Structure 1
Amino acid sequence: MRETVAVEPFDKYAIEYIKKHLIPGAIIGIEAEGQRVYEKGFGYRNVAQQLPVTEDTVFGIASMTKSFTCAGIMKLQEAGKVSVHDNIVDYLPELKTSGGQVERITIHHLMTHTAGYPPLATHVYARKNSIEQDPSAKDYGLDLLNNPGPHIETFDEMLAFMANDDFEWLGEPGQFYSYSNDSYGLLGVIISRVSGQPYEQFIEENILKPAGMKNSFFDMRLLDEKEDVTTLYMKAKDGSHVYEAPLWWDAPSMRAVGYLKSTANDILRYLEMYWNEGVAGGTRILSKESIAQMIHPHVEYEPGRCYGYGLRIVPDYFGSTLISHGGGLKGVSSYMCAIVEKKKAGVILTNVSDVPAGDLLMNAMNITEGRELDASYSTYEVLEIDAEELQKFTGSFISSEGMNVQVVLKEGKLTIESNEVYRTLKCIGKNFFIDEDEKEGILQFLENGCGEIERIVYGGRHIMKEIM
């Protein structure tokens, strides 16, 4: 392991952090101008066998995959085969049965999560085979077991489900940002249809191999062929312990959403493409213009936080541009980032879900930047609101993806409960809240025309209030 920055205090902090959050194994890597400035494995890829984590240990990366999907779209645009401004029904005519709005949705809307789709159950049904085979699914952070819908194994089945599902659009295309796995599932179909290749093959041939990502793949069979692969773990629902849960989940019809497997070394090779104007390892992957489109802040989803194409953008991160994306799936909590102007990149990969891996990586980035470990680029002014006024925000908010969020008053304070974890909220603006440690992102409550709370924006998703 290479370690070229004196960060002993961070190592001690990281060990305690990992112990506190019950993370079996993690790898952190940071590079500046292509040189490794920090790299360390913590814990084990297999606890029972005491196997160490290395920079070449294969982990799931979950939704970090989304930027690879967008890079695939940009590659097709460079070849003149698509434009991000094309209407999606030009490539997915089956969706026309879902109403007139779908005909106004462009590829750009899918890439920026602004198509107007609410969270649908598509992704739940796409991985239903895995869920049904896995006893640990009961402890996952979403309710995935009470879904009577169909297995979605193919693109045709996914398109038919989305075309005929009974849902209400959140708004017009471009009106609202709502993080949408469904949209990225559709992008995978477009890539396959336009390229004439399976989505996975196109990404491998046009992004992974040219970037020198030798240990990155979608093929589940390779998990058994490679030696340095992590075991997956699940945290018990009550948070008391972690146990081995070796079954990897798959969603063959929606791999574009979050099913790439990779390593710290490979992700840092990939991130070079963003701070080096499309070149990684001396090979041009995308044009300078395509990279500029991907890291452009197309839509602001929270104050000071934007979304590009498959990447989150902070235009003013201590005076520089930060691009990033995280991922969460069974046995996966991951995060990658790059500070574009400083030609710096970082990644953390872990082998358990529902842990704040991104916070640990950004603390490591702070140390290598010479800042305090927990330095934040944003500050918030807290507003005092009495309990009577807070009452309007309480209620149950439920999505078809399996998310169940309860907002209640406890001892006069607004509290949010999700996945049996309670967090106290503080108000930072009209209908805007953040939890007390300022680590979980901003929550926004949206009103209907009568001034009543209609939905919550939680985890970037619009989740409707349950009508009692």
Structure 2
Amino acid sequence: MTPGQKLGMAEHGEPRWVRGYGGREAERRGPAHADTIYPIASVTKSFTAVAVMQLQERGLLKVSDPVVKYLPEFRLRDAAHAQAVTLEHLLSNTSGLPPLVSLYGSLKRSLEADPNLSRFLLPERLPQLPYLDTYEDLLDFIAEEAGDPLGPPGTVFSYSNDGFALLGAVIERVSGMPYADYVRANILEPAGMTRSGFDPAWVQQQAGVTQLYHMAVNPPELIHAPGWWEAPAMVAAGFLKSTVNDMLRYLEIYRTGGTVGGERILSPESVRAMTTPRIPCGPNMWYAYGLMITPYQGMTLVEHGGNLKGAASWITCIPERGLTAVVLSNLIITPAARITLAALNGRLGLPLATNRFEDRDHPCPPETLAMYEGHYPSAEGVVLTVRAAGDGLILQMMGAEVKARCIGEHLFAFEQHGDLATVRFVPGPDGRIWAVLSGFRLIRKAADAAAEVAAADA
């Protein structure tokens, strides 16, 4: 069930189809419409990338510059690695930073003020985490917690809220403006996005703001979850609020090569740089700069999504066909990506269920499945446990179990919240599995995981 969701589609810049499901409130007292304000969560990352490209156009930075040029406080256990990380590596999630729990440190004050705190699945470390209220707090935390990098800069993909948060700090230092002020003055206002902003106080003053909902635990049920989570040190990673109409205007940047309603936001060269595939991040999907790129039916999907308390969002642009689409929802588990693609498939004359990648069973002898077994603990507070079962795998995470089937080499697919999700296991030079790409995060395998699983089965 989705309490409130809005889908919008435009063709050559003209809104063609806007449809709402449910309302701003589960009780349907307030219908959702194209100007209802929702959190867009990690879709914010593309705005951060636009800001970086604007500053490059103005000669104030280069994406090839090392991060330490602007943030000399950026340090890691491997000092040489820290010196080698560039802005481009942060933009493409290839810095080598492992998943960290820092988002929850930045959210901690909001979490403690949330009346439904006990109803959320949160890291056990939360009470011990420091408050990460500033960029300086975040930089110190990364230095202490990051540990060994996942690989040399530019060689491995792992989605990093920390990396985009650091880009927000760079934008502030280079522009001399707070991140939110810079984005408002240089992206939102020129694009005519009058119903978009960061300040929660501003949001609450507006008419037509969604209520937030969550599928809670203890017991499992859909609950009204008031209170917008905020993370000052992570604002550039996922805390913009917007509407379907405003986001359709924003997507014109990628449809037109940089303009919205005659206003030049980015140069065509910068748009090309932002949408150039940099590294694989999923089956038939590449990460660019704050955007995901998928070759699709002879066309290109320029996309990104986001999830946060009370938010599931997805944006897509198909430049070759002049199509743009947005889904905004006030419940995190909404399959926004699948809904967006199904709507576009309908417009393209394709079967609605056509997927972004080929979903076909791949031979995987049962005797080879044991190589994937083990525990894959993420510092973000999630542990993925993998067991062989018949001709597939059982994946256990966050208290739920799913059956995954092999659809490619080291690649397994499973249904999750109404969408098709995947995990890809990563072998090392010796052929042994050392990590898994799950939820766009590269998570190392625990060294003793296989022994623990064997002991549990004994």
Q: TM-score with structure 2 length normalisation?
A: 0.93
The yes-or-no answer on 1:359 pairing with 2:359 is no
- Matched to 1:193, the amino acid is R
2:22–2:28 Cα contact (<8 Å) kept: no
Q: Deviations over 1:46-85 (max 9, x none)?
A: 1246110000000000000000000000110011000000
Q: CA deviation at 1:465?
A: 2.0
From 361, 364, 383, the equivalent of 1:382 is 361
Pairing 1:333–2:312 present: yes
Match of 1:201 in 2: 181
Q: Following TM superposition, by how much is the alpha carbon of 1:410 offset from its aligned partner in structure 2, in angstroms?
A: 4.0
How much does 1:292 deviate? 0.8
How many Å separate the matches in 2 of 1:436 and 1:235? 17
Give the residue type in structure 1 aligned to 2:351: E
Instruction: Say if 1:237 and 1:420, in contact at 8 Å, map to a contact too.
Output: no
Structure 1 residues 296 and 194 mapped into 2: Cα distance closer, same or farther (>3 Å)?
same
Match of 2:3 in 1: 24
Distance 2:257 2:237 in 1: 25
> Which of 138, 142, 146 is 1:158 aligned to?
138
1:256 to 223, 233, 236: 236
CA distance in 2, matches of 1:380, 1:358: 16
Query: What CA distance in whole angstroms lies between the structure 1 residues aligned with 2:137 and 2:407?
Result: 43
For the pair 1:455 / 2:432, whether they are aligned, the reply is no
**Identity of paired residues, percent?**
37
Which residue identity does 2:45 align to in structure 1? K
SS at match of 2:133: coil
Q: Does 1:418 align with 2:397?
A: yes
Offset, 1:186: 0.5
The aligned residue for residue 283 of structure 1 is 263
- CA shift for structure 1 position 456: 0.9
Deviation, 1:143, is 3.1
CA–CA distance in 2 between the matches of 1:216 and 1:276? 21
Rounded to whole Å, the distance in 2 between the matches of 1:277 and 1:412 is 47
| Cα separation, 1, equivalents of 2:76 and 2:352 | 52
1:334-385 CA distance string (max 9 Å, x none): 1010001111100000001122111111111111211111122432442233
Q: CA deviation at 1:123?
A: 1.1
**CA pair 144-212 structure 1, distance change in 2 beyond 3 A:** farther
Match runs of 1:15-164 below 5 Å: 22-48=1-27, 50-96=29-75, 98=77, 99-140=79-120, 142-143=122-123, 146=126, 148-164=128-144
1:402 aligns to 2:398 (yes or no): no
1:304 is matched with 284
What does residue range 177-192 of structure 1 map to in structure 2 within 5 Å?
A: 177-192=157-172
RMSD: 1.9
Asked whether 1:226 is paired with 2:206, we answer yes
1:370 match: 349
Partner amino acid, structure 2, of 1:134: D
Partner of residue 270, structure 1: 250
Contact 2:391 2:405 in 1 (8 A): no
The offset of 1:412, in angstroms, is: 5.3
**Any unmatched runs of 5+ in structure 1?**
1-21
Deviation string 1:90-124 (CA, Å, 9 cap, x unpaired) is 00101246421010011000000000000012211
Structure 2 unaligned residues grouped into runs of 5+: 449-458
1:215 maps to which residue?
195
Residue 410 of structure 2, aligned match among 431, 441, 457: 431
Contact 2:6 2:18 in 1 (8 A): yes
Distance in 2 (CA, whole Å) between partners of 1:419 and 1:172 is: 30
Name the residue aligned to 1:293.
273
Cα gap change, 1:278 to 1:412, in 2 (>3 Å): closer
Q: Following the alignment from structure 1 to structure 2, what is the Cα–Cα distance between the partners of residues 362 and 140?
A: 29
Q: Give the whole-Å Cα distance in 1 for the aligned partners of 2:122 and 2:238.
A: 16
CA contact (8 A) 1:62 1:334 kept: yes
Report the CA distance between 1:165 and its aligned residue.
2.3
Mapped partners of 1:147, 1:459: distance in 2: 25
Partner deviation per Cα, 1:154-180 (whole Å, 9 max, x = no partner): 111111111232511001001101111
Residue 95 of structure 2 contacts residue 154 of structure 2 at CA under 8 Å; is this kept in 1? yes
* C-alpha distance in structure 2 between counterparts of 1:246 and 1:144, whole Å: 23
- Aligned-partner Cα distance in 1 for 2:130–2:397: 26
TM superposition outliers: structure 1 runs of 4+ over 6 Å = none
Distance 1:303 1:357, change over 3 A: closer
| One-letter amino acid of the counterpart of residue 58, structure 2 | A
Describe the SS at the equivalent of 1:414.
strand
Distance 1:51 1:439, change over 3 A: closer
Q: When the two structures are superposed, what TM-score results if normalisation uses the length of structure 1?
A: 0.91
Number of aligned residues? 446
